[in-house]
Each structure stands twice: as C-alpha cells, then as structure tokens.
Structure 1
Amino acid sequence: MEENVSEINYIKDKLTITRVDFDRIHHEILLKEQWSRLNNIEIRSMPIKTSENLFQIHEALCKPIGFDVPKSQIDYIARVPSHNLRDKLIIVRYINRYTKEDFIATARAKKELYVKDLEFTGSRNRIFVNDRLTPHFKSLLTKVKALAKEKTTAMCG
C-alpha cells in the first residue's frame, strides 16, 4: 500500500513538472507567433472589389495619410478571412519594423480614415489600420481595454 502511495506521489510530482514545462513552452510559442507578425499591419473594413490590386489599394491608402511606402518596402500583401467580419482583412508585411511603426503612427494621427478618402466609390466604411496581433494577444488587448474603460467609468461616476 505504501509503495502505491509513493508511486502516486512520484507521478504527481512528474505531472507538476511536466505542466510547468508545458506552460513555459506554450508561453514561448505565443511570443514567437507574435514576433513573427512584428512587421505586419492589418487594414480593416476595406471592401473587396473584383480583380482588385492590393498594391494599388495600399498606395491609395498612403496618399490621404501622407506617408509614402515604396513597393520595394512591402514583403507581401494579401487578403485573409476574419471570423467575425464580412470583408476580408488586408495584411501587409513590410521589409522592416520601422516602416510599419511609422506607417501606423501616421495613420493613427489622421484619426479617421474612410474608403471615400482613398477615392473608392460605393462605401462609407471607416478604415482601421492596426498592428497584426495573434488571437491570444488580440484577446488580451480587448480585456485590457475593457478593464481600462471600467476603471475610467468608476473614477468618473
């Protein structure tokens, strides 16, 4: 009987160690996934047009915000589905992070950007330019924003 208890305790200890290792590895994977998106932006709410040229859309986006990005600074550009949006996101990966950071800062300084600002017709959508976050970090950001809003409301009310 004592031998069984001792074996169970040994297995419990091994399980605890394995869980700690798993959590560490999982955390490392989450960080590496986000790191792989370090040069990426996402453009939301840009309607899909048949036979669209994403490089032209990106160029059209650069004009109203006043930030020129040569085509040579773009590693790739593509539409990707989003689970809760009708229109697919446009993902742009720049050659270096500084171009991405400057582009986002300039776009955010513009405050509001609409499809009509890009000289596209047929839509009144507001366009959003953001960092490309993994689902984990997007969820974390949403929680932080909700908590900040809750704290602000509590302080003001």
Structure 2
Amino acid sequence: MQSGLDQANAGIANLEGKFALIEDRLENFDVRLTLTEDKVDRLPGIEENLKQLQTEFATLKANENDRDQFCRLNNVEISGVPQKDSENLVSILNAICVKVGFGLLDTDVDSIHRVRRFPVSVSNGNRADPRPPAIVVRFCQRRRKDQLVTAARARRGLTSADAGLPGPAVPIYVNEHLTAVNKVLLRRARDRKAELNFNYLWVKQCKIYMRKSDSSKVYVITNEADLKKLK
C-alpha cells in the first residue's frame, strides 16, 4: 500500500515539475510577445524615420550633383577624338575651332586635359569603356564656352579628319560637360523623347530641356520625376 502511495506522490511531483516548466515557458513566451508588440508599435515611427532619412539623403545627393555641375559650367567636353602618344591637345582644339568657325583666343583656355571614362554597365557587370578618354576644356569665360558649343552644333558631321588627325575619320562631338548623374539623365530623356514623340531635346548651360512641339511648353528636366510627369 505504501509503495503505491509513493508511486502516486512521485507521479504528482513529476506532473508538478512539468507544470512548472510549462509555466516558465509560458511566462517567457509572454515576455517575448510583449517585446514583439512593443517593436511592432514602434515600426510606424521607424518607417517614418527611414523615409525621412531617405529623403534627406536624396536631397544631399542632388545638392552635391548641383554643385558639381556648377563647377563645370565653363567646361566643354570633346568626345570621340582618338588618343595618340605625344598628342597636342591645344592644336587639336585649335583645328576644331577653325573648322566650326570659332575664333579661339590665347586668353580663352584655362586648362585642357583628357578625362577617363567610367566603366560601362552591362547585364553581367561593368566593363571598360572602349571609347577614347574625352577632352575637357575649361574656358576662362562662360560666354566664350557657350559660343564654341553653339558654333559646333551649327557645324554638324564633325570628324577627326577635320581636326587634322590621321587614320579613319570618326565622329567628334563638342558638348556641355555634364556630370555623370546628368549624363544618365540625358540618356533617359532621349528614351522618353522617343517614347512620347517629343520633337525637341537639348542642353543649354548644362541644363536639360524638352519640348513636344514648336508651340508647346518647355520642360526643364532636373531628375527622373520630371521625366515621369511628361505626357
């Protein structure tokens, strides 16, 4: 009889132990649930802070791009000129100016140099840009830079032969010196122009403009959002 009672007591003790363990687990679960609820309650605030930080970051990037572009307002970028050893960039520039009918003065140019191109984005990564490094000319006066760009645009079909360079004639382009960000934006604007059948897309003083027809509104394109607004 005593043995059966001992067994019963042992069974009860075992059950009490299991119940205590379950109570501990339930208590721990309740604590974790409370912490999770607190985190969920804080999520809207965290999301709002994240959106604010993203907005501030985008603003900082835009301001940085604007400052970078402002520093290039006196610059001309000449693309397509083949690179040779011991080349004379001033002579090349002079030949281009003569061809487009722009009288380059000795006091016009502040600096002239080649600039490396950024890698080209492809589907499986980046690769080196096969084009020769562009020539960047910094003018002492913005007015003179604008005059050269205007003259070059009026003279279409400019080639390396026009600059007196040997080898096969390849196209040469004289443009505003846009930042990398604005060059991408200009490419997107070209795509948008074709998509919406706009007639005009141009760059003036490093700003991008679009116009659907001669009588329609002129749009200034400063970011992707401006392109999405076009109809």
TM range (shorter): 0.7 to 0.9
Match of 2:137 in 1: 92
Q: Which has the higher contact order (CA 8 A, sep 6+)?
A: 1
Q: CA deviation at 1:58?
A: 0.8
Match of 2:212 in 1: none
Q: Contact 1:81 / 1:89 at 8 angstroms: preserved in 2?
A: yes
Residue by residue over 1:44-91, the C-alpha shift from the partner in whole angstroms, topping out at 9 and shown as x without a partner, is: 111112211111111111111110122322111101122423311111
2:192 matched to 1:147? yes
2:61 matched to 1:26? yes
Match of 1:47 in 2: 82
Using the alignment, how far apart are the partners of 1:10 and 1:45 within structure 2?
52
Q: Contact 2:92 / 2:164 at 8 angstroms: preserved in 1?
A: no
Q: CA deviation at 1:118?
A: 2.2
Aligned sequence identity (%) = 31
Using the alignment, how far apart are the partners of 2:84 and 2:43 within structure 1?
63
Stretch deviating more after TM superposition (20-29 or 6-15): 6-15
* Partner of residue 106 from structure 1, selected from 127, 147, 151: 151
Q: Contact 1:62 / 1:69 at 8 angstroms: preserved in 2?
A: yes
Residue by residue over 1:10-59, the C-alpha shift from the partner in whole angstroms, topping out at 9 and shown as x without a partner, is: 43333332222222111111211211111111111111122111111111
Residue by residue over 1:135-156, the C-alpha shift from the partner in whole angstroms, topping out at 9 and shown as x without a partner, is: 1111111111112123339xxx
* Partner of residue 122 from structure 1, selected from 129, 153, 167: 167
2:102 matched to 1:67? yes
Q: Contact 1:55 / 1:71 at 8 angstroms: preserved in 2?
A: no
Using the alignment, how far apart are the partners of 1:11 and 1:37 within structure 2?
39
Q: Which runs of 5+ in 2 are unaligned?
A: 1-33, 120-128, 199-231
Secondary structure at 2:175 match in 1: strand
Q: Which runs of 5+ in 1 are unaligned?
A: none
TM-score (norm 2): 0.60
Query: Amino acid of the residue matched to residue 46 of structure 1?
Result: V
The RMSD of aligned alpha carbons is: 1.9
Q: Contact 1:73 / 1:95 at 8 angstroms: preserved in 2?
A: yes
Secondary structure at 1:130 match in 2: strand
Residue by residue over 1:77-128, the C-alpha shift from the partner in whole angstroms, topping out at 9 and shown as x without a partner, is: 1011224233111111111211111100000101111121222222311111
Using the alignment, how far apart are the partners of 1:55 and 1:19 within structure 2?
45
Secondary structure at 1:68 match in 2: coil
2:129 matched to 1:76? no
Paired residue total: 153
